[in-house]
């Protein structure tokens, strides 16, 4: 039995939630609204203590709804925060179903189209009395800042072993089944200052040492599954002083975690060798922002998604993405998941948009997933 999705209610929820400002670390009002909506549907809801851990004003929301089908629970995940500019958002609906902002802010379809599709899907199942699996919902904070919210979540609360994270900007029916490790690195080169006009030979240019090292390190797409980028370089004080310090920041991405670590090791070795040759010192630090995952195409969580999408007449596509999501962290905790298309386009820009027909399709997919027993 297929559930009926109420498009008018779906848009009304989207418009109301878009009007709530929820930049990363400031999701308080959004969390309060979602708590009320989840409780109204019948979920038991709890908010964790992540706010004090990350310097925000709201925690992650975890909600549970019993099911009638004899099947394990499924986890549905979306995030509450948005990127800037995100204050004063409006959702404007065009006659053709396209929804956009007023043009001076992002819309917030990333990730409110997903949040609203989840709410509408479960609401429709409950009000129509359609049996469904036990449902667990995780709405996270600070996802846009490399998953700060989910990184601090207590995964002992989750029973589900499979998850659908709705946070992908591809065509409806598509999903990401693999995503990369992202390493952020910072290199500080310390040389020796000297007057650039009277005694340049007495100095050691930190900028030149850094440049020499960078010139020896491949960057850009360094392999089919890896990228390396030098994103920021700063150093020096005045044009007549040999620069004593140079700071280099960048990132490495690869769907193969060991390979990402090898690229980092090669970078560190090159910097140390080049700097030693000119008498400069170097300090290198890094942080693994997210860890790569790959969900096998033949796994139940993937095949279930494909069956439901095809039953709705949707074309399907499985991809590898070079962006991260909450699913990277779920995978580290033994939860098999995919990142499903969630009706968002031109994300992180003021041209961001969604469409009501697409959001409706996402809600139908979610409802279909929840009504399966395999």
Do residues 201 and 299 make contact, with C-beta atoms less than 8 angstroms apart?
Answer: no
The C-alpha atoms of residue 105 and residue 90 are separated, in whole angstroms, by 8
> Which residue out of 81, 120, 162, 358 is catalytically annotated?
81
What's the confidence (pLDDT) of residue 155? Answer: 97
143 is known as an active-site residue: yes
81 is known as an active-site residue: yes
The C-alpha atoms of residue 265 and residue 374 are separated, in whole angstroms, by 44
> Which residue out of 143, 244, 352, 358 is catalytically annotated?
143
Whether 3 shows a pLDDT value over 70: the answer reads: no
pTM equals 0.93
Q: How confident is the model at residue 366 (pLDDT cuts 50, 70, 90)?
A: very high
Please give the average per-residue pLDDT across 283-297, as a whole number.
97
User: What are the strands, taking DSSP E only, across the chain?
Assistant: 44-47, 61-65, 74-79, 92-93, 98-100, 135-140, 162-168, 174-179, 181-190, 220-223, 226-235, 245-254, 281-290, 293-294, 317-320, 336-341, 353-355
Q: How confident is the model at residue 2 (pLDDT cuts 50, 70, 90)?
A: low
Whether 362 shows a pLDDT value over 60: the answer reads: yes
Helix (H, G, I), strand (E, B) or coil at 61: strand
What's the confidence (pLDDT) of residue 78? Answer: 98
Whether 60 shows a pLDDT value over 90: the answer reads: yes
* pLDDT digits 0-9 by tens, 201-249: 999 999 999 999 999 999 999 999 999 999 999 999 999 999 999 999 9
* pLDDT digits 0-9 by tens, 125-180: 999 999 999 999 999 999 999 999 999 999 999 999 999 999 999 999 999 999 99
The C-alpha atoms of residue 246 and residue 268 are separated, in whole angstroms, by 15
């Amino acid at each position: 039995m297929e559930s009926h999705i109420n498009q008018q209610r779906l848009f009304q929820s989207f418009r109301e939630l878009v009007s709530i400002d929820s930049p990363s670390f400031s999701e308080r009002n959004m969390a309060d609204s979602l708590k009320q909506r989840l409780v109204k549907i019948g979920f038991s809801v709890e908010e964790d203590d992540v706010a004090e851990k990350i310097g925000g004003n709201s925690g992650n929301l975890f909600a549970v709804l019993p099911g009638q089908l004899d099947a394990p629970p499924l986890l549905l995940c979306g995030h509450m925060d948005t990127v800037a500019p995100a204050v004063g958002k409006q959702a404007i609906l065009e006659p053709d179903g396209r929804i956009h902002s007023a043009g001076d802010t992002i819309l917030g379809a990333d990730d409110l189209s997903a949040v609203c599709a989840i709410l509408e899907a479960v609401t429709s199942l409950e009000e129509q009395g359609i049996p469904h699996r036990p449902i667990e919902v995780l709405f996270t904070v600070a996802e846009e800042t490399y998953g700060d919210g989910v990184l601090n979540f207590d995964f002992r609360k989750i029973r589900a072993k499979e998850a659908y994270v709705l946070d992908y900007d591809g065509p409806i029916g598509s999903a990401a089944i693999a995503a990369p490790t992202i390493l952020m690195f910072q290199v500080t080169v310390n040389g020796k200052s000297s007057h650039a006009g009277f005694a340049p030979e007495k100095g050691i240019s930190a900028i030149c040492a850094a440049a020499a090292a960078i010139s020896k390190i491949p960057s850009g797409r360094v392999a089919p599954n890896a990228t390396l980028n030098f994103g920021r370089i700063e150093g020096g004080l005045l044009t007549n002083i040999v620069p004593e310090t140079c700071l280099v920041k960048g990132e490495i991405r690869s769907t193969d975690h060991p390979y990402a670590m090898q690229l980092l090791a090669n970078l560190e070795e090159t910097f140390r060798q080049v700097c030693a040759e000119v008498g400069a010192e170097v300090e290198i630090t890094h942080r693994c922002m997210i860890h790569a995952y790959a969900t096998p195409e033949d796994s139940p969580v993937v095949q279930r998604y494909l069956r439901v999408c095809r039953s709705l007449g949707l074309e399907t596509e499985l991809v590898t993405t070079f962006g991260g999501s909450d699913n990277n962290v779920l995978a580290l905790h033994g939860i098999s998941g995919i990142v499903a298309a969630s009706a968002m386009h031109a994300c992180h820009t003021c041209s961001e948009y969604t469409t009501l027909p697409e959001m409706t399709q996402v809600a139908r997919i979610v409802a279909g997933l929840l009504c399966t027993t395999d």
